Amino acid sequence: MAGEASLLEILAWGDQGWSRPLLVGLGVTVACASLGYVLGVGLGFALALAKLGRNRWVAAAANAYTTVVRGVPPLLVIFLLFFGTNGALMWIAGGFGYNGYIEVDAFTVGVMAVTLVSASYSSEVFRGAHATIPGGQFEAFAALGLRSLAGLCLVIMPQMFRYALPGLGNVWIMAIKETTLLSVISLAELMRVVGLAGRTTGQPFFFYGVAAVVYLVLVAASSRAFVAAERRMRWG
C-alpha cells in the first residue's frame, strides 16, 4: 500500500506531482510532430511533382535530396540543424550588418527536422501513388480537353492522395517516433520529461512504462483514424 500511495503522490496533479509536466510534454510531442508532418507532406508533394516533371535538373535535385535525407540517421539530421542553423543565420545576418548572436529554439529545430525527414519519405509515397494511377486516367482528362494543371488538380491529385493515404499514415507514425530523439537538444517533449521524472523520483521503470503506454495509445488512435479515412475515401 505504501508503494501504491507513493505512486499516486508521484502522479498527483499539483506542484509535487508529475501529471501536469507529462501532459505538457505530450502536448509538445504532438505539436512538433503535427507541424513537422503537415509541412513535410506539403514539401514531399512538391518534391514528388519535381521528380515526375520533365526538367531533368530539378528531378535530379529532388532525387538527390531524398537519397541524402533517407540515408542519414534522423539523429544526425537533428544535430546538423541544431548546430548549423544558428551559424547559418548569423552568417546571413552578418551580410546585412548585424553582428549579434542569433539562436533558434529547440522546438523550431525539432519541427524542421521532422519536416525534412517526413518530406523525403512522403515524396516517395506520392511518387508511388502516382505510378499506381492507371494510364487511362491521364488519357481521359486529355480527351476532355483539360489542360495539364487542371487535369492534375481535378483528376490525378485526388487519386494520388487516396492511394498515398496508407503510406502517409506510416510517415505520421514515424514522425511521432522521431520526436523522441529531440530530447538530445533539450526540447521538453514527452521522453525528456519522462527521463527527468524517472531520475528525480527514482522510478525510471515506472515512468518509461507510462511513456510506452502513451505512445502505444497515440499510435493506435492514429492508425484507426487513418484506416477510417481510407474507408471514407474508398466509399462509393
Residue 148 is predicted with a pLDDT of: 64
pLDDT at 4 over 70: no
pLDDT tens-place string over residues 41-64: 999 999 998 998 888 999 999 999
pLDDT tens-place string over residues 121-157: 999 999 988 888 776 666 666 666 666 666 666 667 7
Domains in the chain, CATH or no CATH each: 32-187 (1.10.3720.10)
The residues, any chain, with a CB within 8 Å of residue 77's CB and separated by 6 or more, are 69, 113, 116, 117
Residue 35 is predicted with a pLDDT of: 97
pLDDT at 231 over 90: no
Residue 158 is predicted with a pLDDT of: 76
Backbone angles phi, psi at 101, to 5 degrees: -85, 135
Tell me how far CA of residue 220 lies from CA of 83, 103, 157, in angstroms: 34, 36, 28
Residue 53 is predicted with a pLDDT of: 81
> Of the given ranges (12-26, 88-102, 154-168), which has the lowest mean pLDDT?
88-102
**pTM for the structure as a whole:** 0.86
Residues 98-109 have a mean pLDDT of 80
* DSSP assigned state of 12: -
- Report the alpha-carbon distance of residue 66 to residue 43 in Å, rounded: 11
Q: Which is nearest to 155 in space by CA: 229, 147, 50, 230?
A: 147
Residue 139 is predicted with a pLDDT of: 64
